Structure 1
Amino acid sequence: MPLPNDEKLIALSEEILSAFEKVFGPHPGFRPVHAKGMMLTGTFTPSAEAVSLTRAQHAVQTSTPVTVRFSDSTGLPLVPDTDMGADPRGFAIRFNLAEHVHTDIVAHSANAFPATDGREFLEFLRAVTQEDKAKVQEFVGSHPKALAFVQAITPLPVSFAQEKYFGLTAMKFTNKDGVSRFGRYTIAPEDEVAHLSAEDAAAKSPNYLFDELTERLGKGPIRFRITVQVAEDGDVVNDVTVHWPQNRKVVEFGTLELKDPVADNAHEQKQIIFDPIPRLDGIEPSDDPLLELRAAVYLISGRRRRAAPEQ
């Protein structure tokens, strides 16, 4: 994907990457946030309902190979899974449609985001860099979006495979009849969502989530359901911080079945650059101002990551 031809957007992306580095330090070869991760391969099978929502290739063909990445938050490659800063957890999905043709979903485990646009997000990051915890708490308390984000972060999950994930930005889905509706993804595990008590969390190892993921794969596939909550006329579709009413229609989009770790995992994580913008017929981005910014941040940081020496 090319960088957008927008000097202000690129400059803001650079400021955000600098802010991440001030928070977590420089870690060449790793993502500025969600640095610690693991990639798996599997298959996406669309539901019968998916074609009513979109004509996108992976919604109409029998199945599509996928590559996914589970991750801890923070830009620390060795962050303990038990660190409270490691939430929200990340879940990115790549639908491999053909050679060098793909589309992605980027989600995390908090059904919230601390800002509506890039400038607000940069303000949030700069507040987090402050060493005075009282000032950070004061900032969060005086900024409702940041407070809602913090409050939406769940306790430590039992497993990556027993957590729910949210694709927060709305997308425009168009079906074969040309009918378009906006929707947001939710990715729910086949197994029940489960979190650790403080006592159980204290007994876990620093790598417990990734160790458990490997152990679970040894027993069989990991499955998730992808659904899309559909907006109605008048719903806000360009602000990631605005939730739609719970009574909005939910469409079953399909099922993920994850079977194997990606070979040469560390190298492949370094190479892959996920894209929050779908870039395919049948699913388009909304006017959410964060989408182009996120795409630019991912691409700039991804190019730097690829250029770093192998660890």
Structure 2
Amino acid sequence: MPLPNDERLVALANDILLQFDQLFGVHPGYRPAHAKGLMLIGTFTPATQARSLTMAPHILSASTAVTARFSNSTGLPEIPDSAPESNPRGLAIRFNLAEHVHTDIVSHSTNGFPARNGEEFLGLLRAIAASGSEVPSPKPIEQFLGSHPAALAFVQAPKPFPSSLASDTYFAPSAYSFTNDGGETRFGRYRIVPEEGNDYLSDSEVIGLAANYHYDELAERVTIQPIRFHIRVQLAKPGDITDDVTVHWPEDRELVDFGTIELTEVVPDSVVQQKHIIFDPIPRVEGIANSADPLLELRAAIYLVSGRRRRAARVQEQESELTAGAV
């Protein structure tokens, strides 16, 4: 996918990436956020009910191959799974529609997002970076949160440690426009719910976690039985705000069954493939389109710039390996 023609948007994407680099350091070949992760493959089976919502190709097909990546927060590839900063966890799902044709869902385990646009998010990152332990109160982050109630609510929202990444619920923060074959359009947000239900660890259990607990557990679990999630779409009612990720819709909004993903194995070369794959928050398929959420195009630009940097680092790594082998 190409970069957007909007130079201001691309500049903002680069500014945010540079701020992540300042916060977490530069780790060639890894994402600047959600660096630590694991990829699995499996199958998506659409729900019959989803045809009332959209005519998207993966809803009209009997099944679609999927690639899913679980991840920890931060840009630290070696962050321990017990670190509070590893939450919220991420789950990105790629629906492989044909060769080089796909649509993705990008989600995380806290409902919502701390900023409604890129400028606000950059301000949050800069406030965090300027608030070291040596900085007296009120620190820049304290001032930012004091003047941005949505960011404060996100920071204060519970972020429990799941007993397994397969037993947590994930939310795609942005709304999308869904259109069925009758031309009816409704706005909705994805919600990815574990088939076995949510299950979380106590504080004492978290303290004793091994550094790679969640990914070792996930890799072992999938050898015993498939990991299943149900994808649902929370539908907006007329008047609900659809262009602001910081605004929650009431829980009484209708949930439509979209389908089920069944993950069956870890990608054999998961580390290499994670460096290559670039997820896209923009649907780019018939029947599902962007809302007016300003973060969607920005996130797509950030993911693309980050992905190109990651792939370039992988090429340099391969060239270094070849040079070393020739000596």
- Quote the residue 2:58 is aligned against: 58
1:271 aligned to 2:260?
no
- Quote the residue 1:89 is aligned against: 89
Q: What is the rounded CA distance, in whole Å, between the counterparts of 1:170 and 1:153 in structure 2?
A: 22
Map 1:32-181 to 2 at 5 A: 32-132=32-132, 134=137, 135=139, 136-181=141-186
Alpha-carbon deviations, 1:50-100, whole Å to 9, x = none? 100000001111100000000000000101111101111000000000000
Q: What is the rounded CA distance, in whole Å, between the counterparts of 1:244 and 1:76 in structure 2?
A: 32
1:258 aligned to 2:263?
yes
- Quote the residue 1:227 is aligned against: 232
Mapped contact 1:272–1:302 kept (Cα < 8 A): yes
Q: What is the rounded CA distance, in whole Å, between the counterparts of 1:153 and 1:260 in structure 2?
A: 30
Deviates more, 1:107-116 or 1:241-250: 241-250
Instruction: For residue 218 of structure 1, report the CA deviation from its aligned partner.
Output: 1.6
Question: TM-score, normalised to structure 1's length?
Answer: 0.98
Instruction: For residue 247 of structure 1, report the CA deviation from its aligned partner.
Output: 1.5
Q: What is the rounded CA distance, in whole Å, between the counterparts of 2:157 and 2:260 in structure 1?
A: 25
Question: TM-score, normalised to structure 2's length?
Answer: 0.93
What 5-or-longer segments of structure 2 have no aligned partner? 319-327
The one-letter code of the counterpart of 1:203 is: G
Q: What is the rounded CA distance, in whole Å, between the counterparts of 2:50 and 2:317 in structure 1?
A: 41
Secondary structure class of the residue paired with 2:172: strand
Instruction: For residue 244 of structure 1, report the CA deviation from its aligned partner.
Output: 1.2
Instruction: For residue 299 of structure 1, report the CA deviation from its aligned partner.
Output: 0.2
Q: What is the rounded CA distance, in whole Å, between the counterparts of 2:304 and 2:244 in structure 1?
A: 22
Q: What is the rounded CA distance, in whole Å, between the counterparts of 2:194 and 2:70 in structure 1?
A: 13
Mapped contact 1:50–1:60 kept (Cα < 8 A): no
Instruction: For residue 141 of structure 1, report the CA deviation from its aligned partner.
Output: 3.6
Q: What is the rounded CA distance, in whole Å, between the counterparts of 2:265 and 2:49 in structure 1?
A: 28
Q: What is the rounded CA distance, in whole Å, between the counterparts of 1:156 and 1:130 in structure 2?
A: 28
Q: What is the rounded CA distance, in whole Å, between the counterparts of 1:214 and 1:152 in structure 2?
A: 29
Instruction: For residue 139 of structure 1, report the CA deviation from its aligned partner.
Output: 2.8
Q: What is the rounded CA distance, in whole Å, between the counterparts of 2:143 and 2:198 in structure 1?
A: 32
Alpha-carbon deviations, 1:291-310, whole Å to 9, x = none? 00000000001000000033
Q: What is the rounded CA distance, in whole Å, between the counterparts of 2:44 and 2:158 in structure 1?
A: 27
Alpha-carbon deviations, 1:250-277, whole Å to 9, x = none? 1000101000011211110000000000
Map 1:292-311 to 2 at 5 A: 292-308=297-313, 309-310=316-317
Residues 101 and 118 of structure 1: CA distance in aligned 2, closer, same or farther (over 3 Å): same
Alpha-carbon deviations, 1:177-227, whole Å to 9, x = none? 111000000001011211111111111101000011011112110000000
- Residue identity (%): 59
For residue 296 of structure 2, the aligned residue among 291, 295, 299 is: 291
RMSD of the TM alignment (CA)?
1.1
For residue 213 of structure 1, the aligned residue among 187, 210, 218 is: 218
1:3 aligned to 2:10?
no
Instruction: For residue 153 of structure 1, report the CA deviation from its aligned partner.
Output: 4.2
Q: What is the rounded CA distance, in whole Å, between the counterparts of 1:95 and 1:26 in structure 2?
A: 30
Q: What is the rounded CA distance, in whole Å, between the counterparts of 1:116 and 1:26 in structure 2?
A: 26
